[in-house]
Structure 1
Amino acid sequence: MPITNLFIIRHGETEYNRIGRMQGRGIDQPLNETGRLQARATAKYLKDFGIDIAVSSSLKRSKETAGIVADDYKVNLLSYKELDEIDFGIYEGQYSKDIQDELDTIHERWQKGEVHLAIEGGESPSQALDRVSRRMVSVIEEHEGKNILVVLHGRLIRILLSYWLGYGLERMHEIKHSNGALYHLKWNGKAFEIVCLNKTDHLQESLPKKVDS
């Protein structure tokens, strides 16, 4: 069976990322300038591999990141609502620092195995996994043997990769993420091989240049 390369990227930075506000599924922020630079740096890095198809969620920050790369490679961009970020319910739009105790509590419960527990007004990790996994299985099957760019969201990457790599959802916190980070996996039809996780060195050119005083 031919090898399918999955280049999973966390979307570039938004203003909500920069100032520490929760986004989730219901906040549809575009990229800021740093986020656009991160997407361009990703496109440049992937030139060593080539991309056959680009896939994103339906949210602006994901579609815009994927679109910048897709334009460089002149490939089609497919977007799916099933790949949208987990619904953080009542926490969406709030500053993380203002609800840190509440976030710590639910994270602790997830780590104890309560992965069917949803944030009020939102969804649980197991619910998010069900939709993202079904869609990604169809993407891989439809583009077998191709190099696929997939632009996702931080919590959704943790959920999906903890399942694919056999960690279990209760250990999803072990999957690190940052804006523009790259995860390269190879699928041989039976199992995933990790090439890299949370790779960020390709983003150095997107950082603001320091000016000597």
Structure 2
Amino acid sequence: MSNEQSQMPKIKTVYLIRHGETDFNRQGIVQGSGVDSELNELGHAQAEAFFQKYHHINFDKVYTSALQRTHQSVKKFLEKGLPWEQHEGLNEISWGVREGRVPNDVDNEYYKILIDSWINGKVDMPSEGGESPLDVITRQKPVIDLIVSRPEEETILVAMHGRAIRIILTLLLERELQEMDTFEHANLCLYKLTYDYEKGKFFVELENDLSHLDDLIVE
């Protein structure tokens, strides 16, 4: 083993967050990858609260999806001049033709049947005009492989989306894809993970952590 290899870090720390609240979140409207919504006032306040809690962390890079609600959620970190990459592979799942509208009773029943199908193992079933969980994890995997291939980035911040986080966590933690709904999430929640290079595995330190929002006043 060369000196360079022996000096490589054995652990990578990943701060994985969901974006802050949007008006679509508040109204119960399905966004998906086809709706490039902005954070609302509360969402920006959540992003600020997260920054205040974690601005002291020396992140080597910030990774986001290609959608602006993730960009806005890490804006203060980017303004510090941190290296940043955005990847469409980290985008939210495409919910297809029902994205971007207030769901009616028929839509709600459709989503229930679809998600129940996924829980029962039919993870290759796409939404109408959209993606399946299997489609999403297939596009996520190259991004994760890229991140893991960069051991020099010892600590990174990744901003994503609710369903996409549920899906990617099954990949990182070697769980069955149909178990994705066991992972809870909320706007601007934090999953803190470590990747052990010797064991070749990810481990969870924090799950759906919202402690950074404790002092946030919600009107």
Q: State the TM-score, normalizing by the size of structure 2.
A: 0.89
Higher helix share: 1
The 1:179/1:90 distance shift into structure 2, 3 A limit, reads: same
Provide the rounded CA distance (Å) in 1 between the counterparts of 2:46 and 2:29. 20
The one of 89, 110, 115 aligned to 1:102: 110
Provide the rounded CA distance (Å) in 2 between the counterparts of 1:137 and 1:110. 25
Deviation at 1:33, TM superposition (A): 1.1
The 1:143/1:14 distance shift into structure 2, 3 A limit, reads: farther
Deviation at 1:145, TM superposition (A): 4.7
Provide the rounded CA distance (Å) in 2 between the counterparts of 1:152 and 1:166. 19
Aligned to 1:83: 90
Aligned to 2:121: 113
The answer on whether the counterparts of 2:60 and 2:153 sit within 8 Å (CA) in structure 1 is: no
1:134-153 mapped onto 2 (5 Å cutoff): 134-153=142-161
1:39-78 mapped onto 2 (5 Å cutoff): 39-71=47-79, 73-78=80-85
Deviation at 1:140, TM superposition (A): 2.8
Q: Please identify, of 143-152 and 103-112, the stretch whose mean Cα deviation from structure 2 is larger.
A: 143-152
The answer on whether the counterparts of 2:61 and 2:153 sit within 8 Å (CA) in structure 1 is: no
Deviation at 1:87, TM superposition (A): 0.5
The alignment partner of 1:142 has SS state of coil
Provide the rounded CA distance (Å) in 2 between the counterparts of 1:106 and 1:34. 30
Unpaired stretches in structure 1, ≥5 consecutive residues: none
Between the two proteins, the alignment pairs up a number of residues equal to 208
The 1:171/1:79 distance shift into structure 2, 3 A limit, reads: same
Specify the code of the residue in structure 1 equivalent to 2:203: E
Specify the code of the residue in structure 2 equivalent to 1:131: R
Q: Please identify, of 130-139 and 113-122, the stretch whose mean Cα deviation from structure 2 is larger.
A: 130-139
Any idea what the Cα deviations from partners look like across 1:33-80, whole Å, max 9, x if unmatched?
Answer: 111111111112223533121110110101111223332x43122111
Q: Does 1:36 align with 2:44?
A: yes
Q: Does 1:198 align with 2:208?
A: yes
Any idea what the Cα deviations from partners look like across 1:60-114, whole Å, max 9, x if unmatched?
Answer: 101111223332x431221111111111001201224642211110111001100
Q: Does 1:158 align with 2:166?
A: yes
Q: Please identify, of 124-133 and 161-170, the stretch whose mean Cα deviation from structure 2 is larger.
A: 161-170
Q: State the TM-score, normalizing by the size of structure 1.
A: 0.92
Give the greater-gyration-radius structure (CA): 2
The alignment partner of 1:136 has SS state of helix
The answer on whether the counterparts of 2:65 and 2:89 sit within 8 Å (CA) in structure 1 is: yes
Deviation at 1:137, TM superposition (A): 1.6
The answer on whether the counterparts of 2:19 and 2:161 sit within 8 Å (CA) in structure 1 is: yes
The answer on whether the counterparts of 2:29 and 2:100 sit within 8 Å (CA) in structure 1 is: yes
Any idea what the Cα deviations from partners look like across 1:161-202, whole Å, max 9, x if unmatched?
Answer: 022212211110000011000000000121111101100111
The answer on whether the counterparts of 1:6 and 1:148 sit within 8 Å (CA) in structure 2 is: yes
Give the aligned CA root-mean-square deviation in angstroms: 1.6
